[in-house]
Amino acid sequence: MVNIPALEQMNQILHILFVFLPFLWALGILPPPDALFLWAMEQILEFGLGGSSMSTHLRLLVMFIMSAGTAITSYFIPSTVGVVLFMTGFGFLLSLNLSDVGHKIGTKSKNLPSGPEKHFSWKECLFYIIILVFALLETGLLHHFAGFSQISKSSSQDNVGYGLMILLIILWILREIQSVYIIGIFRNPFYPKDVQTVTVFFEKQTRLMKIGIVRRILLTLVSPFAMIAFLSLDSSLQGLHSVSVSIGFTRAFRMVWQNTENALLEIVIVSTVHLISSTDIWWNRNLDTGIRLLLVGIIRDRLIRFISKLQFAVTVLLTSWTEKKQRRKTTATLCILNIIFSPFVLVIIVFSTLLSSPLLPLFTLPVFLVGFPRPIQSWPGAAGTTACVCADTVYYYQMVPRLTAVLQTAMAAGSLGLLLPGSHYLGRFQDRLIWIMILECGYTYCCINIKGLELQETSCHTAEARRVDEVFEDAFEQEYTGVCSLNEHFGNVLTPCTVLPVKLYSDARSVLSGIIDSHENLKEFKGDLVKVLVWILVQYCSKRPGMKENVHNTENKGKAPLILPASNTSPPPKSPEDIDSLNSETFDDWSDDNIFDDEPTIKKVIEEKQLKDLPGTNSFIPGSVESQRVGDHSTGTVPENDLYKAVLLGYPAVDKGKQEDMPYIPLMEFSCSHSHLVCLPAEWRTSCMPNSKMKELSSLFPEDWYQFVLRQLECFHSEEKASNVLEEIANDKVLKDFYVHTVMTCYFSFFGIDNMAPSPGHILRVYSGVLPWSVALDWLTEKPELFQLALKAFRYTLKLMIDKASLGPIEDFRELIKYLEEYECDWYIGLVSDEKWKEAVLQEKPYLFSLGYDSNMGIYTGRVLSLQELLIQVGKLNAEAVRGQWANLSWELLYATNDDEERYSIQAHPLLLRNLTVQAADPPLGYPIYSSKPLHIHLY
């Protein structure tokens, strides 16, 4: 074996190769085993078996095994008709997204029994079954016809070829007029001009959408059947047991469905070459149609890749000199070397193209290497598994489902051009940048991954985003007078495609100077705050759980004895009503649960404990003159006055042995039996403020507004005498005193001991939840629900102050209620950092408001998010430029270990969009703040 020449030559070649292996590894040209294995499977599946790159590695492995099994099985089928039917059927089935169809049927039939969704999925499956049956019938009949009519067979296939040529031209025209630029260079005269609003865009795009429907019908139904007719009439299928026939036609029958537009182009090329060339040439004599289509497909793909890589290389070379910020000391030397060694550079580009590996610009300088072969996905992990989640991620979560639905229409119409796995698109709206990558394509479906880039713009991010805006503005927002204008940004890796109307949040920021620091506005703020507090608390109490159910049971209840904060220092005299009520209604104990309960269950108390079991009851009737001190343990008295202790919760402790100077709290009862339905919770009625302060604050309580709000309630809507009941509740003095106490205590806690007009800084602090110290602070913070309601009232009042300054004063109470109801229903007013802010975004609240302060400018700002249908501008990126920059990023961080945050290769590059491309890489190399899981879009 030593003397065999082939082995000796191989030995010499390997010795040379092994010497260069460390050098190739250091340059990042040697692929890791997993990347090489996945790349090889992807290449064989796509070009040898007619499939597509898949969204996950598991799907790729399963699809590769099934596709290879189909090709192998077709070789052993003895019947020609059986082979054709087998290839047609499995080619169609493997091009479908069968896992998604099965998932839809299974989940929707269980979880959504309501019909429409389930009906739709079954209709979809019926459509696929009908298509499959017709395809098998057509293939079988035409193949049978071709076998019996050898004379007319060739002419029939030629006629079908002519029809395919016409179909290709029509489809190309219909696809190109859907985008703003034709071939990315010439302005499309049929595309709507000066597109800035959704309504205008819809009006002008109606005709284009109708054309898109025609194109989709031709692409989905007409083209596959026409190509099947061409393949079925081919003479190569009359022979059996040929590896070339099995491989070539298995791929051809699969490509008809999997990638219809490219398959149509390949068949037209093969048909044209056959028509214009003689039959004696090697191409026609030695190769069957299936192998010709395979070779044409490889040549087509590599030629497109070569043009993209060449454009990328030229852009890097030219911009390194023309862009001042990209120019370095060595730039001139590098440019000269590239010109001198241009044949060698072309060899590198060709070699990279043949391997289908990225062209790697070293440090994004005009020094080109061949990156190691890798799958289209570029990253080892599955799409959407990682992202650098932050507070702004929620905006992409809200936007992506709606964006996906709109992408479905645009892709089906052809607005985004030819859909190929590995294509990249960039969407732009205000400060949002959306990165869209196509992972796989098939018959009537497409799988994509959507990433969202950061909103907090750095200088590099801003520079490139500004250039993106310029590219889109020139394409969509300028009036063109010429019939055929040119794309001024042709050298940019971004080519505008279309605009997509999507319902999302528009972010508007305003300066509140002159509003929040106005003395008059701040003075009115305090009065409005009391009104808003009243409205918030009344609305909350009237809608509490269990309130509505108890409306009809109210008449059977006794009048509820409740604690009223005293307004007099001297207790009232004992009255006969007090004694009568005590004899008829019994209390278990003076505990908070019974005294402050909204609906005391008197009968239950009587059953549990009788009044006669309480010794010395007559000596401490609430409101009587004969009262005892807390802690009195004399004979015949209760060990501790629990009622007195509960009501005085929050006051400073009294030293033992000293006489208390706090007033006693009389027991009062509602004058209206329905008042408890809007009464405040028991724990909110405890007292923490001195009587003198409460008297002073009570004068600020708007009684007319309080009564007006109560009369507007709708909790008694079902009763005939609802207005009378509401009138009685509004006139209930005991209920009013409770509201006065709670509302004014909350009011006092916002401003502390200083009763002057608040400053803008104070407004901002309280708006953020930081309250000044006061005797009411602990009382309020111990009640989280009341604290949140009071804080919401404060924020509503601030928004009301801004609206009054912008829209004019409020005329009457009805208009004020209208404002407040709008805030409650359509607005979320809070902080961006709140968890409820994110919930409001995901629930798609129509409007969100937040108050902020710009420390650099020294100004107060307002931020308003409004949900509306707006236009997202979308452009297609040069896929090879993206892959090349990602390859350099991987090489630089993994091989050169250059993780400097200020390194040259991630600085702004307006033509290559270098910084944005680095951001869009999968973590940890990139840092998108949102990355979706693979999203399957149905294109019909």
Write down the domain spans for the chain: 392-493+878-938, 519-546+668-827
Which residues touch 866 (CB under 8 Å, ≥6 apart)? 505, 506, 508, 846, 847
Nearest in space to 262 (alpha carbons), one of 209, 299, 310, 316: 299
The burial of 904, by beta-carbon neighbours within 10 Å (0-12 exposed, 13-18 middle, 19 or more buried), is given as middle
Token pair listed for 730: 């509004």
Tell me the CA distances in angstroms from 540 to 352, 715, 824, 836, 839, one per residue in order: 68, 12, 11, 18, 20
- The answer to whether 422 and 53 have CB atoms below 8 angstroms apart is yes
Q: Which residues pair with 506 in a beta bridge?
A: 866
Phi, psi of 809 (to 5 degrees): -70, 160
R_g of the chain computed on alpha carbons: 39
For 732, other C-beta atoms within 10 Å of its C-beta total 19
pLDDT at position 225: 94
**pLDDT tens digits, 780-814:** 888 889 899 999 999 999 999 999 988 888 888 88
H/E segment holding residue 275 = helix 260-276
Asked whether the beta carbons of 742 and 537 are under 8 A apart, the reply is yes
| pLDDT (0 to 100) of residue 596 | 33
The answer to whether 600 and 676 have CB atoms below 8 angstroms apart is: no
Q: Which two tokens stand for residue 125?
A: 């499956």
Do residues 48 and 251 touch, judged by C-beta distance below 8 A? yes
- Return the sign of the alpha-carbon dihedral for residues 452, 458, 461, 464: positive
* Element of type H or E holding 705: helix 703-711
Tokens of 42: 């992807």
User: Tokens in use for 768?
Assistant: 């953020």
Report how far residue 618's alpha carbon sits from residue 165's, in angstroms, rounded to the nearest whole number: 108
DSSP-assigned beta bridge partners for residue 425 = 436, 876
* Helix residue ranges, H only, 277-363: 282-286, 289-322, 331-340, 342-355
CA distance 884 to 808: 58
Question: What tokens were used for 2?
Answer: 């030593």
183-211: pLDDT as tens digits: 888 888 888 776 766 777 777 778 888 88
Residues of the chain scoring pLDDT < 50 = 105-120, 548-667
Burial class (CB in 10 A: 0-12, 13-18, 19+), 509: exposed
- Phi/psi for 846 (5° steps) reads -60, -35
Residue partners of 181: CB distance under 8 A and separation at least 6: 187, 188, 475, 487, 495, 496, 497
The per-residue pLDDT for 642 is 40
